[in-house]
Amino acid sequence: MHVLIDQYIPFLNGVLDPYATVEFIAPEEFTPARVQDADALIVRTRTRINKDLLAGSRVQFVATATIGYDHIDTSLDIPYWTACPGCNAQAVCDYIQEALLAVQLPYKSIGIVGYGHVGSRVAAMAKQLGMDVLINDPPKGLGVSLDEIADQCDIITFHTPLDETTYHLCDAAFLSKCRPHALIINAARGGIVDEQALFESHHPCIIDCWENEPAIHHALCQSPQTLLASYHIAGYSVEGKRNASQMCLDALCRFFNLPLLSVNTDQMPPAGDSQPGWLTRVSNQLKAHPENFETLRKQYPLR
């Protein structure tokens, strides 16, 4: 068995060696020629799993070590694919809390769009901070309408997957219904927020996930309306990465009938900066050099 793994996915070095030929490669090395003889791929969002990549290959298994899977064409006839829902939910919740504490706005009400692994944690955290919480999650039959969120909330944070129903969910029409001072937060997926419409609305915002990464909206990033900007690292914690790697490994072992294996905790990366103010420091980095988005992301030390 031949397995290709994104080199930025930690905790997997040596684990599969007794059972497979394993190669750790850069995201840009996932090419049709490189995956031709692979049986399994373990990737991140930077690898587009599509017909062009997999045509003529023998790939049977694809796992993405992320909660989102909009980079996988699920209409393809892949024998098995999987994502890691909830793997970094607490890390994203911690990011939202750090962001709210960093901006220190006197806001009392928060609207949470999407009440899944992350949204439910954000709701509990916001209640502990004494905020009034409104939920919007029509697929689960929960909460109020988006119009009520727009009308009643000082903060609106998005925690949905990205698909045809959520693409530009926060668009010019929605923003026009929001309170003029309403703070918009996107730490979910780029594309949920129409960034040009957000920029033109002048709403204050906090953005971690951007459209067209790594070629992000420089004007929005550097605008004073963007109180905090980060390089898609809300979920980048040691715990989140370990959870994702273990979930990918579990799925691979089940599919190929291998013994259940554990991630390599000897490969524990050093803890990064998690002291108060860490998000402000990250934001200052990106605002100074938005063109360095991908480099900053690759060099970010896990919290």
The token duo for 121 is 């944690």
> Taking CA 213 as the corner, what is the angle to CA 50 and CA 126, rounded to the nearest 5 degrees?
110
Closest listed residue to residue 170, CA positions, set 148, 191, 151, 152: 191
State the pairing for strand pair 155-158/142-143: unpaired
Closest listed residue to residue 284, CA positions, set 296, 294, 295, 302: 296
**Lookup result for tokens 């697929």:** 139
Residue 85 one-letter amino acid? P
Residue 189 annotated as catalytic: yes
Residues in the chain: 303
C-alpha–C-alpha distance, residues 219 and 231, integer Å: 15
Closest listed residue to residue 244, CA positions, set 12, 2, 7, 3: 12
Cis bond upstream, residue 290 (ω within 30) = no
Q: Considering the candidates 232, 242, 297, 303, report the single residue annotated as catalytic.
A: 232
Residue 291 one-letter amino acid? E
Closest listed residue to residue 91, CA positions, set 262, 249, 266, 230: 230
Q: What share of the chain is helix, strand, coil (3-state, %, to 5)?
A: 35, 15, 45
- For 254-280, the DSSP string reads HHTTPPP----GGGPPPP---STTHHH
Residue 98 annotated as catalytic: no
Residue 46 annotated as catalytic: no
Alpha-carbon distances of 24 from 2, 21, 221, rounded to whole Å: 11, 10, 32
Alpha-carbon distances of 76 from 4, 49, 140, 154, 163, rounded to whole Å: 19, 9, 27, 42, 16
Q: Considering the candidates 46, 159, 189, 203, report the single residue annotated as catalytic.
A: 189
Q: Considering the candidates 29, 148, 168, 213, report the single residue annotated as catalytic.
A: 213
Question: Looking at the annotation, which residues are catalytic?
Answer: 189, 213, 232
